[in-house]
Structure 1
């Protein structure tokens, strides 16, 4: 068997949980005039503290406004969430919960995560744009993803990655049944299912390697970590069919531009991670048993685990291009 492996911090609560009763109470208690009525960017004042439109917009930043709800209605609901949260925060402080050691640990971790995310966005914003010439060259150098784009039908075995994956005799398994036997013997649960892999949008190096493997032996099994699960789930594949669905023209160029830009962003982020990992070696001392293993994590794996450090990267626009999930990492 051939193997290949490459592979936010805080989840935002929905802002539309405010009840109709809460909105009604707020409406009844709202000041409608006088010198103390909020104006301009100040949309409300809670116990003497201003709440600004900027804060309301931040509350709505990642929210999906339900159909039929106007922007102003969403802003009112978001404002009520802010007011309720601050009132609850006041109660927590009155009970001195912010002095709890566990809270302080979580507060520090969240603060670190937000700063790392801000750094990642700053790095991404400074990555130079890709030129049309570079995109055209990328398309020409990767025909498997564009003019010869292929969608594979595959037989798959999906299983959780065990701590010592390398010790399993999977390299000796030449059939899917043999893979099942290895996993059964190791007591590893798995599921077998049909699937599809699309070379469009996949890692170019991965596509070239798999294409080379299948050119030599169309029945060769290949394995890779599920790209959306942080490498903790492995997928064994056997190709059962294929069809060529060319992806060309201006839409292909636009997709190539975005792919290359995302690639550059990931490379810049990985370079910064590696730089800081190297710098830390001269600054840190470990208690016995806590030092990292001799083989360090690859920078891209470390970045993936850095509590959402990487910004959300735009996906290439492949709308209208029939296909399925990208082919692996």
Structure 2
């Protein structure tokens, strides 16, 4: 078996979170006189639950179709009633003053405000041009024009860096995957294996070109935080995607990438212009490294062509072989 070592891509420093409205706003219908109905959906003791609260929850449910909104709104209302009852009872027991609860509320508040700022920074980013989209398509043939569906055998190996060379050499010398697995067992090297069928866009982008060059039976080795991952190509089939089909996903991917870069640049500028002092046991810690990581470009994840059934939400979360 032949093998070439590759480094597995790192994780993004910052992932942009974008709220997508997934349901049509509910409209209130009046009586024969055309009077506007109340925005109150229910009263729980002395407190009201409004249509606006229901709509807010619906907007956070991606994939909800307009025709499902009415039924979904009734289910949401029941959950909000249960929630309101729990809140009222908690307040009665003064749980809202519990230090742990107060701390969680403040943490959630900070996260929401920080996310709003991140989204505001992202709003200033320009959308990619048609030329930039076409250029990306042309530069990534393994993703589009020469896209393939891969049948892969994956072996995740727990190993220390000093073991990497020995394991890699044994993989090269092994006449079969079974022989390599027996070597791992004989040397008490922990591993886990599985088989998977993955489209090109579901593979680590930094390794895709190398994987695309594999022939049946050949393998690639990638380093991971826990050790090594061995990918063996069992077979593949061609499934190209034309530029028109790929365009929406490429546009979303490039836009999200620009937003992430803009946020990283902005955070770095804020760090550089602020007085940050580490105290106590945190003095001399990884603060400088964290600042450098904030300035580093985010690792790239492949956009999913529309024909594959993967959308911009999948791109935002990142894709890799599991």
Question: 243, 260, 269: which is aligned to 1:266?
Answer: 260
Equivalent in the alignment of 1:60: 58
Q: Which residues of structure 1 form unaligned runs of 5+?
A: 9-32, 226-230, 305-313
Q: Is the 8 A contact 1:129 1:261 kept in 2?
A: yes
CA distance in 2, matches of 1:186, 1:286: 44
SS at match of 1:81: helix
Q: Is the 8 A contact 2:264 2:294 kept in 1?
A: yes
CA distance 1:116–1:198, change in 2 (3 Å): same
Question: 148, 151, 158: which is aligned to 1:150?
Answer: 148
SS at match of 2:120: helix
Equivalent in the alignment of 1:286: 279
Q: Is the 8 A contact 1:135 1:256 kept in 2?
A: yes
Equivalent in the alignment of 1:307: none
Q: Report how far residue 263 of structure 1 moved.
A: 2.2
Q: Is the 8 A contact 2:219 2:230 kept in 1?
A: no
Equivalent in the alignment of 1:242: 236
Question: 93, 102, 105: which is aligned to 1:104?
Answer: 102
Q: Is the 8 A contact 1:143 1:149 kept in 2?
A: yes
Mapped pair 1:169 → 2:170: no
- Report the RMSD for the aligned CA atoms in angstroms: 4.4
Mapped pair 1:317 → 2:306: yes
- Number of residue equivalences: 277
TM-score, normalised by the number of residues in structure 2? 0.66
SS at match of 1:152: strand
Runs of 4 or more consecutive aligned structure 1 residues displaced over 6 Å after TM superposition: 64-67, 231-234, 300-304
Q: Is the 8 A contact 2:141 2:147 kept in 1?
A: yes
CA distance 1:76–1:279, change in 2 (3 Å): same
CA distance in 1, matches of 2:182, 2:266: 41
CA distance 1:47–1:302, change in 2 (3 Å): farther
Q: Report how far residue 135 of structure 1 moved.
A: 0.9
Equivalent in the alignment of 2:118: 120
User: For 1:1-329, what aligned pairs fall within 5 Å after superposition?
Assistant: 1-7=5-11, 39-63=37-61, 71-158=69-156, 167-174=161-168, 175=171, 178=180, 181=183, 188=190, 190-200=191-201, 204-208=205-209, 210-211=211-212, 214=214, 219-223=218-222, 235-276=229-270, 278=272, 282-288=275-281, 291-292=285-286, 295-296=289-290, 298-299=293-294, 316-319=305-308, 328=321
TM-score, normalised by the number of residues in structure 1? 0.65
CA distance in 2, matches of 1:186, 1:295: 35
